[in-house]
Amino acid sequence: MNKKLALLTGASRGIGKETARKFAENHYDLVLTCRERKDLLEDLIYQLETEFGNKIFGFIGDLGEYSEVERLQQELKEITNRPFDVIVNNAGISHIGLLTDMKKEEWNQVISSNLTSVFHICRFFVPGMISVQAGRIINVSSVWGNVGASLEVAYSASKGGINAFTKALAKELAPSHICVNAIAFGAVDTEMNQFLSKQEKEALLEEIPACRMATVKEAAEMIYALATSPEYLTGQVITMDGGWT
């Protein structure tokens, strides 16, 4: 009997890495992607295959480029024609700075990596889910997509776009028994927040009622919970932020 199959983007580190482990330990075969950290992705694949015995395929490429996702689809056809049971759109980058100082290329890179990649992945792989009338799509968003953040206009816009994308696609796919949900995470203890100074981090934690950042393990557990949630839960942007916003 085939194991279930999940696609996780941005899997080389942080939330993506821990989510890959969570799915692997629950007997999923995996397709893991990242944009450039081939060394980290290969290490993760070796660890998971050794520990859990899953079939895991790694892909290096910029999912914001249509041709790269087309290449991913072609490579997967040579390995398996199985549709995905779960898609986790986690890949993303941040940009800190004033909008008035932002270059057009920087804006385009954030939107491409964070939002256009989600369109590409869904455009190529949702038809397989429709063919079997089943599936779960989980989009990783941010509280800044809900309320916006000063100095992170592009990032906030990309995550706000993911929230709207999630709600709209859920309506399209509900008749096909495919659930589409997003998680708007608050501060999660990942490399993305390592730019904060000690004083900045302390000030941030004072604003969060839970008095701490979320762990990547907690984030992964939330993603997995949505992957196994009832079918009637769809079109939701669930905020997980320790009571922050």
pLDDT digits (tens, 9 = 90+) for 32-41: 999 989 999 9
Q: Which pLDDT score is estimated for 201?
A: 87
Contact 134, 177 (CB under 8 A): yes
Using alpha carbons, select from 1, 16, 7 the residue that is nearest to residue 219: 16
Q: Which whole number is the average pLDDT over 185-208?
A: 86
Q: What is the pTM of this model?
A: 0.95
Q: Which whole number is the average pLDDT over 142-166?
A: 97
Catalytic one of 46, 155, 224, 232 = 155
Q: Where are the beta strands (DSSP E) in the chain?
A: 4-8, 28-34, 56-60, 86-89, 135-142, 178-185, 237-240
> Would you say residue 2 has pLDDT above 80?
no
Both tokens of 83, joined, read 């549709």
Rounded Cα–Cα distance for residues 13 and 17 (Å): 5
Both tokens of 174, joined, read 């509900």
Q: Angle formed by the axes of helices 14-25 and 216-227, to 10°? A: 50
Number of Cβ within 10 Å of residue 150's Cβ equals 9
Q: Which whole number is the average pLDDT over 44-73?
A: 97
Q: Which whole number is the average pLDDT over 109-114?
A: 98
Q: Which whole number is the average pLDDT over 110-127?
A: 98
Q: Which whole number is the average pLDDT over 109-136?
A: 98
Contact 33, 57 (CB under 8 A): no
**Catalytic-residue membership of 155:** yes
